[in-house]
Amino acid sequence: MSQRKKVHYFYHRDVGNYEYAFGHPMKPLRIRMANELIKSYGFDQKMEIYTPKKCSQLEMTKFHSDEYINFLKSVTPQTQNLYPIQMTRFNVGDDSPIFNGLFDFCRISAGGSIDGAERLNKKKTEIAINWAGGLHHAKSSEASGFCYVNDIVLGILELLKYHPRVLYIDIDIHHGDGVEEAFLLTDRVMTCSFHKYGYGYFPGTGNIKDIGLEKGKKYSVNFPMDDGMDDESYVEIFKKTINAVMKYYQPSAIVLQCGADSLAGDRLGCFNLTLRGHGKCVSYIRSFNKPLLVLGGGGYTMKNVSRCWAYETSLLIDEEELPNQLPLHYYYDYYCPDYHLHLEPSSMANKNELKDLDKQYQEIYENLRDIIFVPSVGNRTRPQDFYDKEYKVQTDQYLNEKSDFRFTEKDLNTQIDPINEFYQSSIYKSRKKLWTPKKPTEKSQFFDLQSIDRFNIFKKHLFDNYNSISGQEKEHGKIFKKKRK
pLDDT, tens only, 266-308? 999 999 999 999 999 999 999 999 999 999 999 999 999 999 9
What's the CA gap between 356 and 277, in Å, rounded? 20
Mean pLDDT computed over 413-427: 40
Residue 477: pLDDT band (50, 70, 90) is very low
Greater confidence (352 vs 422) lies with 352
What's the CA gap between 315 and 170, in Å, rounded? 18
Has residue 137 got a pLDDT over 50? yes
Is 95 within any annotated ligand binding site?
A: yes
Cβ 131 vs Cβ 296: under 8 Å? yes
Average model confidence (pLDDT) across the chain: 85
Residue of 8, 12, 137, 175 with catalytic role: 137
User: Facing residues of 9 across strands?
Assistant: 49, 129
Please write the tens of the pLDDT for every residue from 306-344.
999 999 999 999 998 999 999 999 999 999 999 999 999
> CB neighbours of 229 closer than 8 A, spacing ≥ 6?
196, 262, 271, 272, 273, 350, 352
Centre a 10 Å sphere on the Cβ of residue 370 and count the other Cβ atoms it contains: 10
137 part of the active site:
yes
Is 261 within any annotated ligand binding site?
A: yes
What's the CA gap between 343 and 263, in Å, rounded? 9
Least confident of 193-197, 248-252, 329-333, 432-436: 432-436
pLDDT at residue 385, rounded to an integer: 74
pLDDT at residue 380, rounded to an integer: 64
Please write the tens of the pLDDT for every residue from 184-218.
999 999 999 999 999 899 999 999 999 999 999 99
Dihedral sign, Cα of residue 134, residue 137, residue 138, residue 140: positive
Cβ 241 vs Cβ 284: under 8 Å? no
Is 177 within any annotated ligand binding site?
A: no
Is 174 within any annotated ligand binding site?
A: yes
pLDDT at residue 378, rounded to an integer: 62
Please write the tens of the pLDDT for every residue from 53-64.
999 999 999 999
Every domain of the chain with CATH number 3.40.800.20 lies at: 7-370
CATH number of 7-370: 3.40.800.20
Cβ 5 vs Cβ 120: under 8 Å? no
